Amino acid sequence: MNFPTHLVIVKGTEYFDAKVSHPIFPHSISESLSDPLLYLSIYLLSPQEKRYVDFPITDVLQMMGRAGRPQFDKSGVAVIMVAEAKKSFYKKFLYEPFPVESSLADVLQDHVNAEIASGTVSSKQDVMEWIGWTYFYRRITQNPTYYGLETADKEDVQSFLSDLIEDTLEDLQDAGCVSIATCGKETEVRPEFLGKVASFYYLHYKTAALFAERCHQKMAVQECFEALCDASEYDEMPVRHNEELLNADLASQVMEHGGFAVDTRNAEDPHFKVNVMLQAYLGRLPLPISDYALDTKSALDQSVRIIQAMVDVCSNEGWLGSTLNCVLVLQMLSQGMWYTQNTTQCLPGVNEKVAKKLTGAGKGSLPALAHFAQSDYNKALGLLKRSGLQHNRAAAACKVCCALPLLEARAEVEEGGACVSLEISMRNFRKRATAYAPRFPKAKQEGWYAILAREATDECLALKRLGFQHRGRLRTKLRAEGSGGLEGCHVVLASDTYLGLDQIVSL
């Protein structure tokens, strides 16, 4: 709660951590721990277990910062209630400054991968020099014991960093992000496609390794969805005390309503929680507690860049079916509905019953209804009202239909037979092309994928992401990768937001 008060009481400094936790303050040695840095080392490096743990000191300081009302008081009071054994520890940290240490070593693989992908470093020696300019290097020389070194001697530091870089590069190579080659005494590193994708989308290197392991030519929609939920970005999704029971109950509801099957024995896993929350979001099911609404929003915030990276990985391998299924998952998440539902159900007030009536009237798909509304608004409004919508809801649905981006495209093969020229125009172009995605937690821009496809052999020959910012017409070229020419090919225009607006453009 963001408001000041004269008196703040921090009624206890522990909370129950169900996933990653640190030990309770060791009462038996508390009086002998005169050095707070030694306690911090024990606190941060202890094994993971489920139990009550201490709040971070920074959180306690943040709570104390609420004390005092500048417009009313000359002072404020903060009371911290702790066990007697912790009293001296908290007094020392609250009244004396303490150093800020670096956490770069915990995520060094991601930073080194980004530097390699951008071309900043190309050898092990370059990585060593790059680390020499970091805060991490400064703190090693100032407080070596915190980082596991006995002394700050130059030889010890160099040996420690050399081993750390070696392990980091091996991790990246195992994940498929970089390739390592030894040329004489020099170790050269080169970026691989997975490493470039991870760097571009700010993904963890373990997520790139997951894509290498899980992505294949015949990925079904469920496999794409599960790969998304198993990404390392969701490792920190909180599973609070007793939430494994709520996760299992939610999984049962999801499966009862036709969702993907899950193994309820993994109910304590953060990725399991993400899976069932996103399925509940797609199925528009009620969430068990309000915390799940915030957790779902957090999961959706991460989802777009993860699935976009998966689209790039599949298209780079030339897997057409897998690429289109990944795009389908992206559309589902944007609209908050299953791909098996009638596409008109994304409109305000349109439920399954109304959608059936629209189908009976020959307007049972989103593009059919959108074309109808854009050509004759009044007739479309009357149709929606006859289908069971009240006037306000029908008007809102018609308004959305009139704003939908209906594309008109023409594709031609250029001379030589390896390149396609694509010309696209958007009806009812709007300079601010904010997508209609009312259930997605953030404002979303409309984007499109132009995919040069050969369906007979399930090949994706080229993919390009398109946007219509500040223009309603664009031209682009798609160059076929590989041999075989363009015989039997076509262009798929796939929305990254809307279900049902995709179209195939013949050559």
* Tens digits of residue pLDDT in 439-496: 999 888 889 999 999 988 999 999 999 988 777 888 999 988 765 678 889 999 999 9
pLDDT tens for residues 75-119?
Answer: 999 999 998 988 888 888 778 777 789 999 999 999 999 999 999
- pLDDT band for position 7 (50/70/90)? very high
Q: Is 60 exceeded by the pLDDT of residue 23?
A: no
Token code pair at residue 340: 């098996």
Mean pLDDT rounded to a whole number for the chain = 88
Residue spans of the domains in the chain: they are: 7-95, 104-199, 215-329, 343-403, 407-506
Q: What is the pLDDT of residue 25?
A: 41
pLDDT tens for residues 161-186?
Answer: 999 999 999 999 999 999 999 877 78
| CATH class label, 215-329 | mainly alpha
Q: What is the pLDDT of residue 96?
A: 78
- pLDDT band for position 18 (50/70/90)? low
Bigger pLDDT: 46 vs 390 = 390
Q: What is the pLDDT of residue 431?
A: 64
The dotted CATH code for 104-199 is 1.10.10.10
Query: What percent of the chain lies above the pLDDT cut of 70?
Result: 92
- pLDDT band for position 33 (50/70/90)? very low
Q: What is the pLDDT of residue 136?
A: 95
Q: Which amino acid is at 60?
A: V
- Nearest C-alpha neighbor of 487 from the set 418, 438, 432, 422: 418
Q: Which long-range contacts (CB under 8 A, 24 or more apart) does 303-308 make?
A: 303/228, 303/278, 303/333, 304/330, 304/333, 304/334, 304/444, 305/201, 305/202, 305/203, 306/201, 306/203, 306/207, 306/228, 306/231, 306/233, 307/224, 307/228, 307/333, 308/201, 308/496
Q: Is 60 exceeded by the pLDDT of residue 153?
A: yes
Q: Is 50 exceeded by the pLDDT of residue 42?
A: no
| The domain over range 407-506 is classified in CATH as 2.60.40.150 | yes
Q: Is 60 exceeded by the pLDDT of residue 38?
A: no
Q: Is 70 exceeded by the pLDDT of residue 48?
A: no
CA distance 427 to 404: 9
- E strands along 82-125, which residues? none
| The domain over range 7-95 is classified in CATH as 3.10.20.30 | no
Distances (CA, A) of 264 to 17, 114, 208, 271, 370: 21, 37, 26, 12, 41
> Left, alpha or beta for 418 (phi > 0: left; psi -120 to 50: alpha)?
alpha
- pLDDT band for position 32 (50/70/90)? very low
CA distance 64 to 328: 48
Q: Which amino acid is at 185?
A: K
Token code pair at residue 220: 């079904």
Q: What is the pLDDT of residue 312?
A: 96
